[in-house]
Amino acid sequence: MIDSVVVIVVHLVFALAITPVLIGVMRTVRARLEGRVGGGIVQPWRDVIKLFAKEPLRAPGSSPVLTWAPLLLMASSLVLCALIPLVSTLPLAGVPGELFVVVSVLLLGTVALAMLGLEAGTAFGGMGSSRHMVFTALVEPTVLLSIYALSVPAGTSALAAIVRSRRDDLSSLLNPVSILAIAALIVVVIAETGRLPVDNPATHLELTMVHEAMILESGGRDLGWLEFGSWLRLTALLGLTVNLAVPWAVAGDASWTALLVGVAATTVKLVAAAALLAAVEVFLAKLRLFRVPELLAGSFVLAFLSVSASYLVF
Amino acid sequence: MSQEVFQQLVATTTGVLLLTAILQVWGRSLVRSIGLLAVQGAALAGLAFTVGFHAGEPQASLVALIVLVMKSVVLPAALLRSARLTGETRERPAALNPAVELIGAAGLTLIAYIVGTPLVGDNPDPARQALPVGISLVLLGFWLLLIRRSAITQLIGFLVLDNGIATVSFLASSGLPLTVELGASLDVLLVVLILGVFVVRMQRQQGHSDITELKELHD
Amino acid sequence: MAALILLPLTLPLLMAGIGFLFPKAYWTLALPIISAAALLAVGVGLIIAVQASGPVVAVPGWLRVDALSAWMLAVVGAVAVVALWGGAPVRSKSKASVGSFTALLNLFLGAMSLALVADNVGLMWVAIELTTITTAFLVASGEGRNSLEAAWKYVVLGAVGVAIAFLGVALLSAASGSHSETGVSWTSLMAHAATLDPAMTKLAGALAVLGFATKAGLAPMHSWLPDAHSQAPAPVSGLMSGVLLSVAFYAILRIQAVTDAAVGPELMRTLLMTAGLLSLAVTAGLVLTQSDYKRLLAYSSIEHMGLLAIGAAIGGELAMAAVLLHILGHGLIKSTMFVLAGRISDASGTHRIDGVQGLLRVRPDLGAPFLLGTAGLLGFPPFVTFFTEVAIIVAGFTRGLGWQMALACVLLLVVFAGIARQVLAMTLGAGVRQQGRPVWWRRLPIGLALLTSAVLGFAAWPLAGTLLAAVGALGGVR
């Protein structure tokens, strides 16, 4: 019980601490590759602190959704960070770390965002929400399927146990099932976190934007929660992907040395993955909107294949 | 080579083979598809080396080297040259819905696994276990030949098919003798070069290399 | 003796080299004819040698000639002489690149010889793929889009088909479980047929036959054949139709021998009977409405390959001997017909059947042999095809394949009616006599080929020993 609490606290603190740094690294890498100086690695911290200090402005006549949706997104993101084995694969006592629970928590945040976009009643918000829902309809099954494929050899659908079994049995890391599933997962994580080529996180007023369109009407503290919550989702999903792909040095219990090693390893992996993602983004153009379902359908096929292959082989 | 390392290497190379083939059905950029072909060739060479070395064949590294040079360097370079000469860098608009193409690819891979499983039987040899990957590569090559219109992608489909056959032959019999391997690689190279010449001629004569436009001869 | 085997491999190479050295010289057209004649001589020599002292081995595990290979070598040589000699383009029509044309023809002959004398399964595969490669530019040597289209289809389908056959070859060597330096040879496969893994052998045999059947032009993998054969120049069409198809069929016979010995004859019988009947049906359906006489001849080749497949499916001494003799008879007649078709299209300037009329009156030197050759193709006595077709059908009935044979007879009748109607429309009717009779040495090969195929049926008794020895090389009676 104590161990579980320790692990949850470590996960939360780690996620809160690393997330803005991660965003900063991505922005800096991108800026440097494009020949700009960039705002520095800690700039996201400054942005968030500035936003939290500001009073939110809400349109008169708006419903409470505008107030609680950002908080719901933030809360769901925090639960996500606690449940996903970022640093330690210790099974949490009394808290289900099931794949399906995690995906539904993810969906909770998505729904909060979409309702926020609709609430504003503007054209942009509605467009963003509807697009987001279309993508979600394709993304969620793929997330489920691809991780499910990895869970078949492990014999359990608890995320922590999957990561642990992959860490202990290194031969399962690079077989066809695993390669297909990880490839599918990478595509959907990119789509879910609104990165290129699905959505451009750097735009602010474009007809094609998705994420920015939904949060266009929010400001001040609300915007702070929204931004931070979205970033935390990125950390959680990216962390899950890297820990599934390269589960080395993830802590197996709650001892301090193991946790320290785990924190260091996950930090390195996350920063490397984020830098890589940002570097690749420089070379990508945004896909036309109606081509995005094609991309996601492709990743769904990959995930589907990996599930069927995992049943036929093992 | 220990059994674990062998198993891991076979799993990795066959995994890369399958992934690149699926990505080739997925993507529509010719240049990227040719790049994937090069990766596929490298994975095939790795597989040839792994299986040959494990079986204790003295010529394993030589066969792998031939495969690497042919399939990963020479053939993709020749294709790229044909693509540059004809000025085509993207696939022509598809006859099929992209989703149908992908679902077809998934179905074919499933069929390959279903067909291949009885062949594997209860043979614990990891090389035999990976046999369905080779069969699915063959089927995906056929699929590319069916759904793609550009002559160069047809060539890519042929090469994927050929890679699948090579995969099956490496996995099932740890390869044929060096002379035959050499002759087979040379044959494939010549076929691709000849078809490359045809592609350029087609481009000169009709201004594009869409093979669905080849329908003058019929009954 | 072993040196005899190397001659058909090295001589075409040498001749090809000479051809490449003199790219514009008209006399290089004689080079492939010399190679073909040498092939014929070597084939006959090897038939005698094999009958005297058993199979000849040049390189153990790689090159070996038994009665069947020797027979096929002689057939390829004989047909190639007719096709190349009769089909040699006249000087005014020969293109600037005549040297490389003849060089490719030489390489083509060499590749076919290699396929026939190879004992190693993989080497034979390489040689058959080489036949596709060497003929690609020969098919595409015409002008315009049509020949390019034909060549594209030919190379893609041929290469894919032969690649599938490679899958079969690889699985066959896996089924034998051998890890020797030289891989599997036909000799070792036949010797150890009982120890082959049955499931693997079945799959391997089916795939290999499927692949080589594409190259042999058996339905339903025949779609390249009418295009390629109608677009290629006359000597090339003659060679492809007359012997290339038979060389691919030879590969099927070898595969059949191994799988029959390993897992029983049912699998191959079903496969070959289906393909054979389907080929006959395809021909029957399309000759009636055909409007191009070169395509008509190409479909007739599909029909004859189907007949060979049916013969092989029946099995047994009578049917197999008839199949081997039929390969020779069909090759001689078909190459003659393609040569004549080339001359007709030179004279009339069209490939269309309705563009040619009254050939017997307009050009009796073309019309008469064309009509005679058609009679041979359709299996009229005294041509050898009559005897072989009757032998195949009779063997089928005695083997209890009653309804298949009845169906084959009906289909053959339809083909007969279709081809006869079309050819009669071309040859009969009124017309004004035209000049243009070729010189005697161009008419000679046509006459020789038709005469041989007419006499062969009656003079078959000296060949009986040879044919039965060749059937014996396939593992004897089943």
C415 in Cβ contact with C284 (< 8 Å)? yes
A194 in Cβ contact with A282 (< 8 Å)? no
**pLDDT tens-digit map of A109-156:** 999 999 998 887 788 888 889 888 988 988 999 999 999 998 888 888
> Nearest CA of chain A to the CA of B197: how many Å?
33
Lowest pLDDT segment from B78-92, C163-177, C217-231:
B78-92
- DSSP secondary structure string for all residues of A211-262: HHHHTTT--HHHHHHHHHHHHHHHHHHHHHHHHHH--TT-BSS--HHHHHHH
The helix (run of H) or strand (run of E) holding residue A313 is helix A292-313
B180 in Cβ contact with C127 (< 8 Å)? no
Residue of C nearest to B175 (CA): C170
A197 prior amide bond cis, ω within 30: yes
Q: Do chains C and A touch (3 or more CB pairs under 8 A)?
A: no
C453 in Cβ contact with C35 (< 8 Å)? no
**Buried residues in C400-424 as b, exposed as e (16+ CB within 10 A):** ebeebbebbeebbebbbebbbebbe
**pLDDT tens-digit map of C138-175:** 988 877 788 888 999 999 999 999 999 998 888 888 88
Return the HEC string of A75-137.
HHHHHHHHHCCCCECCCCCCCCCEHHHHHHHHHHHHHHHHHHHHHCCCHHHHHHHHHHHHHHH
**pLDDT tens-digit map of B140-153:** 999 998 888 888 88
A166, A177, A296, A302: best to mutate for the B interface, most B CBs within 10 A = A302
Residue C22 reports pLDDT greater than 90 = no
Contact B19 A298 (CB under 8 A): no
Residue A239 reports pLDDT greater than 90 = yes
Is residue C405 less than 8 Å (CB to CB) from chain B? no
Residue C94 reports pLDDT greater than 70 = no
**pLDDT tens-digit map of C308-358:** 999 999 988 899 999 999 999 999 999 999 999 999 998 888 889 998 888
Q: Which of B199, B206, B185 is nearest to B74 (CA)?
A: B185
Q: CB atoms < 10 A from the CB of B57, how many?
A: 18
Residue A90 reports pLDDT greater than 90 = no
Contact B113 A302 (CB under 8 A): no
C71 in Cβ contact with C91 (< 8 Å)? no
Chain B partners within 8 Å of A308 (Cβ): 109-110, 113
C-alpha B14/C-alpha B136 separation (Å) is 11
Q: Do chains A and B touch (3 or more CB pairs under 8 A)?
A: yes
Lowest pLDDT segment from A170-179, B98-107, C77-86, C414-423:
A170-179
Chain A partners within 8 Å of B7 (Cβ): 171
Specify the pTM.
Answer: 0.85
C-alpha B71/C-alpha B42 separation (Å) is 7
Residue B35 reports pLDDT greater than 60 = yes
The helix (run of H) or strand (run of E) holding residue B36 is helix B30-54
Residue C182 reports pLDDT greater than 60 = no
Lowest pLDDT segment from B12-26, B120-134, C300-314, C406-420:
B120-134
C-alpha A23/C-alpha A46 separation (Å) is 12
Q: Which of B187, B213, B216 is nearest to C231 (CA)?
A: B216
C-alpha A212/C-alpha A195 separation (Å) is 12
Interhelix angle A292-313/B98-120, rounded to 10 degrees, is 10
Residue C478 reports pLDDT greater than 70 = no
C-alpha C445/C-alpha A37 separation (Å) is 84
The larger pLDDT score, comparing residue C287 to residue A97, is at C287
In chain A, domain spans? 2-313
Q: Could you give the count of Cα atoms lying within 13 Å of C282 in the half-sphere of its Cβ?
A: 27
**pLDDT tens-digit map of C207-219:** 999 999 999 999 8
Contact C199 B119 (CB under 8 A): yes
Residue A97 reports pLDDT greater than 80 = no
C33 in Cβ contact with C25 (< 8 Å)? no
A25 in Cβ contact with A274 (< 8 Å)? yes
Q: Do chains B and C touch (3 or more CB pairs under 8 A)?
A: yes
C-alpha C288/C-alpha A151 separation (Å) is 62
C235 in Cβ contact with C87 (< 8 Å)? yes
Both structure tokens of C463: 């060949």
Bridge partners of C352, per DSSP, are: C292
Q: Is A22 helix (H, G, I), strand (E, B) or coil?
A: helix
C250 in Cβ contact with C312 (< 8 Å)? no
pLDDT of res. C128: 94
Residue B4 reports pLDDT greater than 90 = no
The contacts of residue C341 (CB under 8 Å, 6+ apart) are: C234, C237, C293, C294, C297, C370
C-alpha C114/C-alpha C128 separation (Å) is 8
Lowest pLDDT segment from A274-278, C195-199, C303-307:
C195-199
The larger pLDDT score, comparing residue A253 to residue A47, is at A47
C148, C229, C353: best to mutate for the B interface, most B CBs within 10 A = C148
Residue of B nearest to A177 (CA): B15
C-alpha A50/C-alpha C467 separation (Å) is 97
Contact C170 B180 (CB under 8 A): no
C412 in Cβ contact with C280 (< 8 Å)? yes
Interhelix angle C121-139/C198-216, rounded to 10 degrees, is 20
Contact B109 A183 (CB under 8 A): no
- What confidence category does residue B1 fall into, taking pLDDT thresholds of 50, 70 and 90? low
Chain B partners within 8 Å of A179 (Cβ): 12, 15-16, 18-19
Residue of B nearest to A293 (CA): B99
**pLDDT tens-digit map of C232-277:** 988 999 999 989 999 999 999 999 999 999 888 899 999 999 999 9
pLDDT of res. C171: 85
**pLDDT tens-digit map of A60-86:** 888 888 889 999 999 999 999 999 998
Interhelix angle B131-147/B151-173, rounded to 10 degrees, is 170
Q: Is C67 helix (H, G, I), strand (E, B) or coil?
A: helix
Residue C181 reports pLDDT greater than 60 = no
pLDDT of res. A40: 86
Q: Is B150 helix (H, G, I), strand (E, B) or coil?
A: strand
